[in-house]
Amino acid sequence: MNLCTSTLSGFDFQQALEIAVASGCQGIELRVADSYHKSLRDLSESGASVAKTISDAGLGLAVLNSYIPIEDESTVDALIDAARVMGVPQVRVVLPRAARAAVASQANINEGIPSYHSHLKPNELINRLKASLLRLEEKARSADVQVLLELHWGTVMSSFSSAFMLVRDLDPKYVGITFDPANMMVEGKEDWEYGLALVSEYIANVHVKNVSWKVSDDGWTWEWAPMHQGMLDWPYLIFLIRQCGYEGGCSIEDFRVPCESMDSAIAHIRDIRSTYEGMCESNKLFDIGRYGVPPEMLATI
């Protein structure tokens, strides 16, 4: 269980490490930005020292988590090179917005899209992105690093089918997908079982949080939600992820982490971690009758 430090914008790098350790996480996805927690320049100049600081804290460094546009070739190359030097297995880059990303206007929270604008028509944009991904695949192969693309609301890859369209011809060892079901629920979703089976070989990371849509006199809005109260049925998702053969890490990415104090942040993250781990360890993950699980699958529960 890792912690995305992007949820800790109110804390500095050292505090983020202390929060991760105290909340019982085994590693982090390190936010790479000029604002926090480490800039790409920091990593390019002293990445080995940063990696050692994280290791000395007793944490693994799973992902360099950036908002660098996939088409910014020189900056993406520098990110991959930093990961190679630091021994980090995965880096995250971002895809462009889907047109105006209108669903952002329905957010009941101050939430931005980690993305960028493109003025190309959809077909032209997809062809250009595929070309960029082919180049990145070769760069990642040379560095022995995996590039991650996140299933994210408001972007051109917010669904299983759009993800499959982009990555289907690439080597999953070097280009993978971060499965974030809460992000997908913001825009609606495709069938979980079908979709996970479609892209299963590319799933290389899982983000843990929940979301809810709510209606009022002003219309429908969405916001992040507690693990047990949101729209996602996490026990069922855990079952399906296991059925797909995924054995990698999961990362808490709950943007409701309080920033009033380190203690409040630790308590919040610890609660999510224990809740999720309890779901994973439960002997009965979900109501078999409700989902109509085929008999041949029952032995795996």
**CA atoms 224, 228, 234, 238: torsion sign:** positive
For residue 66, the cross-strand partners are 32
What percent helix, strand, coil does the chain show, rounded to 5? 45, 20, 35
The CATH class of 2-298 is alpha beta
pLDDT value for 293: 54
Name the more confident of 30 and 109.
Answer: 30
pLDDT value for 92: 98
149 and 173 Cβ atoms separated by less than 8 Å: no
pLDDT value for 301: 43
Distance CA 145, CA 23 (A): 28
Confirm whether pTM is higher than 0.75.
yes
Distance CA 204, CA 252 (A): 15
Distance CA 20, CA 24 (A): 7
Strand, helix or coil at 204? strand
Is residue 5's pLDDT more than 50? yes
Task: Classify residue 117 as exposed, middle or buried by CB count within 10 Å of its CB (0-12, 13-18, 19+).
Answer: exposed
Give the model confidence (pLDDT) of 228-266 as tens digits.
999 999 999 999 999 999 999 999 999 999 999 999 999
Q: How confident is the model at residue 218 (pLDDT cuts 50, 70, 90)?
A: confident
Asked if the peptide bond before residue 37 counts as cis, ω within 30 degrees of 0, the response is: yes
Give the model confidence (pLDDT) of 15-34 as tens digits.
999 999 999 999 999 999 99
Is residue 300's pLDDT more than 60? no
Give the model confidence (pLDDT) of 49-80 as tens digits.
999 999 999 999 999 999 999 999 999 999 99
62 and 249 Cβ atoms separated by less than 8 Å: yes
Distance CA 5, CA 251 (A): 10
DSSP 8-state class, residue 152: -
